[in-house]
Structure 1
Amino acid sequence: MAPPEKAFPVSWDQFHRDCRALTWRLNEVGPFQAIIAITRGGLVPAAIVARELGIRVIDTVCIASYDHTRQGDLKALKGVSADVAKLGGGTGKGLLIVDDLVDTGKTGRLVRSMMPDAHFAAVYAKPQGKPLVDTFITEVSQDTWIHFPWDTALSFQPPIRDGAG
């Protein structure tokens, strides 16, 4: 995988606004019996969506695919709990999967295989992964690296015209 060429820094304020926008769209699709956050990136948007939709049952699917600079091999660390799977009839019907980003689609395909009838939502989507999600807010190019607020610290950024990505 070629290194991303473009940087897209996202502030906490912007991320919260984007999660609320996602919730507005999801409110038209629900109701949902439970939310499944794809860890780790899906934890923050899942919390915001759960609050806004009044959903109290939140589970996780734990997938490891990234280090801080590149996407690696996919590894499922934890699946959906039996109680939540039961709510979705074993196929995910009435359940909401939430992630921060759908990138290449590898994670999305794995989670879809676990819960094919769940509604899959992501805040951001790249072209390769976009076909796997049912609802998203912002599309970014495949060569863009999103800098989420939980991965960054406040620091000076040079202007784009000075060579900053």
Structure 2
Amino acid sequence: MADHPELSAEERAGKAFPVSWDQFHRDCRALTWRLNSAGPFHAIIAITRGGLVPAAIVARELGVRVIDTVCIASYEHNKRGELQVLKGLSADALKLGGGDGKGLLIIDDLVDTGKTARIVRDMLPKAHFATVYAKPMGRPLVDTYITEVSQDTWIFFPWDLGLSFQPPMREGAG
């Protein structure tokens, strides 16, 4: 798979990993269970947009009240583009992390190629980085994750999905 693939709908469907709300919530709680012994954390930094939902779940479970965001645009619907930092960390979050991220928890839904993770790692080199899902290229940049998927898998998150009929995997099995 190329570093910046532009997958067709057929290619995404063939390597699809749909995640329901229930499964995502369970995976976020499992992530929290692993993070419980890694803290305490002064604040959570959610990488938007994908990190917002897991950050809320993890913050609730760990009792962390301070949540900040780093806003990085890397996807335009289904195509990866150039990375843009739209919003950096607040002065308060930087202060809580001592300027280098110590005591901060970075949360994202997925680490893919690692390009977004590298930008945030450079901002907060001593922060603990956690994602719910990890692909091989980005996995070395995170400290904690729950599920690894192959690099060519396209994850469909619950907020990307609507309820609709799904045909059986095997033709004629319906």
TM-score range (shorter-chain normalised) is over 0.9
2:87 is the alignment partner of 1:99: no
Q: 2: CA distance between counterparts of 1:66 and 1:2?
A: 11
Instruction: Give the letter aligned to residue 153 of structure 2.
Output: T
| Matched ranges for 1:105-120 at <5 A | 105-120=114-129
CA distance in 2, matches of 1:111, 1:72: 17
The match for 2:46 is 37
Mapped to 2, the partners of 1:159 and 1:136 lie a distance apart of 31
Q: Runs of 4 or more off by more than 3 Å in structure 1?
A: none
1:160 pairs with 2:142: no
* Contiguous gaps of at least 5 residues in structure 2: none
SS in 1 for 2:170: helix
| Alignment size in residue pairs | 163
CA distances 1:22-81 after superposition (whole Å, capped 9, x unpaired): 000000111100000000000000000000000000000000000221211100000110
Q: Which residue of structure 2 aligns with residue 138 of structure 1?
A: 147
Is 1:84 matched with 2:93?
Answer: yes
TM-score (norm 1): 0.96
Q: Does 1:14 align with 2:26?
A: no
Instruction: Using the aligned pairs only, state the percent identity.
Output: 78
Q: 1:159, CA displacement in angstroms? A: 2.0
- Equivalent residue of 1:160, what SS? coil
RMSD value, Cα: 1.2
Q: How many Å separate the matches in 2 of 1:144 and 1:131?
A: 18
Give the Cα–Cα distance (whole angstroms) in 2 for the partners of residues 69 and 79 of structure 1: 24
User: Deviation of residue 156 (structure 1)?
Assistant: 1.2
Q: Are 1:72 and 2:86 matched, yes or no?
A: no
* Alpha-carbon distance in structure 1 between the residues aligned to 2:100 and 2:167: 48
Displacement of 1:2 in angstroms is: 5.1
Query: In structure 2, the residue corresponding to 1:161 is in which secondary structure?
Result: coil
Deviation string 1:99-152 (CA, Å, 9 cap, x unpaired) is 000000000000001000000000000000000000000000111110000111
Structure 2 letter corresponding to 1:91: D
